[in-house]
Amino acid sequence: MNVFITGGSRGIGAAAVRKFAARGDSVTFCYFENEKAASLLAAETGATAIRCDVADGAAAKQALAGRKLDVLICNAGISHMGLISQITEAQWRRIFAVNVDGIYHCVREALPAMLEKQRGCIITVASMWGEVGASCEAAYSATKGAVIALTKALAKELAPSGIRVNAVSPGVIETDMCAGFDDATIAELKEQTPLGRIGQPEDVAEAMAYLADAQFVTGTVLPVNGGFVI
């Protein structure tokens, strides 16, 4: 399969690049800032790396132009922690531009080829905070709630054309987003997780691979949270 992964240079995205490349899929991924990590990952996996800010519609169009994709994974995302009263308008706009607009830009460019073939798979990355909300992460929670709604709407819209649309909804995953947590916070999060551990990026990549292959699954939001939200 031809697979395109956004935000692929680190964390969940990098795990997805490794997972799909190891399966023998033809993988292209985009990154925005970390060129060194992207180059090393491309060399390791044989995947193709492209620099692209998915918040920029023109950049997304250039990155995806002419690609006959089987699977589009919209993983690129940023977070923001702080009181709603402290987030600036520029920060608010940027998190929506990356987390929500980025999906729109990439889906818009990938769809024509999928519609022509009458098949395809789109996987978005939501969050358990998009399902239940998180204090001091209002903007992030709002974007991930939008991702869930968009995923379900697109699933209904595109199913008659043979295109499946699903989301993974990670819980606490050991990535850069939780790198600033102290040991006490990590211990508390483990205690709140019924499976008793923090998730790994590979856990989410496994769920993505399942959704890529599950031909009778669409419109689902697959929790990958260790039971944190049930």
DSSP string for residues in the chain: -EEEESS-SSHHHHHHHHHHHHTT-EEEEEESS-HHHHHHHHHHH--EEEE--TTSHHHHHHHHTT---SEEEE-------S-TTT--HHHHHHHHIIIIIHHHHHHHHHHHHHHHHT-EEEEEE--HHHHH--TT-HHHHHHHHHHHHHHHHHHHHHGGGTEEEEEEEE-SBSSGGGTT--HHHHHHHHHHSTT-S-B-HHHHHHHHHHHHH-TT--S-EEEESTTS--
Among the listed residues 31, 104, 140, 210, the single catalytic one is 140
Active site residue 210: no
Residues annotated as catalytic are 140
